[in-house]
Chains A and B, each alone.
Chain A
C-alpha cells in the first residue's frame, strides 16, 4: 500500500504547516468579529488571509526542502525532470509573490487567492509525487 505512506507526509507538510495556521487565523478572526458593532468587524475570508502571498512562501519552502533532499535519492533514479519541475515551482512562486507585492493596487483578492491555491496544489502534487517515486516519504 504505497499511498498509506502519503498520509503522514500530508499530515506534517500540508495539514500542520498550511491548513492549521490558516484555520487558526480564521478562527481568531471569527472570535474577534463583531458584526453588530459600528463599524462592523467581519470575519476574514480565506482569500483575505492569504492575499499578501504568504502561501507562495510555503510553496518555495516545500520545493526547496525537496531539492535539498536530492542527495538522499537512491542511485539510478533520474532526477533531471523532477529538478526542473521543482525549480519551476520555486521560480513561479517567487515571481508571483514579487509581482503581487510590487503591484498591490492591481491585485484582485479573489484572483490572487485562486493563484495561491493553484500554486500550493501544484507544489504539493509535484513534491508528493517526487517523494513517492524517489522513495523519500
Chain B
C-alpha cells in the first residue's frame, strides 16, 4: 500500500471523479429522455426513475470503458520500442 509520491491516490481520485461525472451526466440524459417519453406517451410504469437509473449505469459504463481504453493505449505506447 506504499504510495510515496501520492500518484496512485491521485489517479484513483481522478478515476472516481470521472466515473461520478459520467454517471451524473448519464442520469440527466436518461431522466430527460424518459420525461419526454412520459409526456408523450401515458404509461402506467414510472419511466422517469427507470431512465435515471439506466442512464446513470450507462454513463458510468461509458466512462469506465473509455478510461480502460485510454489506460491500454498508454501502456502500449509506453512499452513500444
Contacts and interface: CB of A to CB of B under 8 A. Distances in A.
B13 A121 contact: no
Interface residues of A, number: 32
A106 B13 contact: yes
A24 B7 CA distance: 40
Contact of A118 (B10, B13, B27, B46): B27
A106 B20 CA distance: 14
Contacts of B55: 122
Chain B interface residue bracket vs A: 20 to 34
Which of A93, A129, A130, A133 lies at the interface centre, i.e. has the most chain B CB atoms within 10 A of its CB?
Answer: A129
A49 to B, nearest CB: 18
A114 B49 CA distance: 21
Interface string B44-68: 0110111011011000000000000
B56 A88 contact: yes
Interface string A88-103: 1100110110011011
Contacts of B31: 121-122, 125-126
Majority DSSP secondary structure for residues of A touching B = helix
Contacts of B14: 103, 106
Interface of B: 10, 13-14, 16-17, 20-21, 23-25, 27-32, 35, 38, 45-46, 48-50, 52-53, 55-56
29 contacts: A81-B45, A81-B50, A82-B49, A85-B48, A85-B53, A86-B49, A88-B56, A89-B27, A89-B52, A92-B23, A96-B21, A99-B17, A100-B17, A103-B13, A106-B13, A118-B24, A118-B25, A118-B27, A119-B24, A119-B27, A119-B28, A121-B32, A122-B32, A122-B52, A125-B35, A126-B52, A129-B35, A129-B38, A129-B46
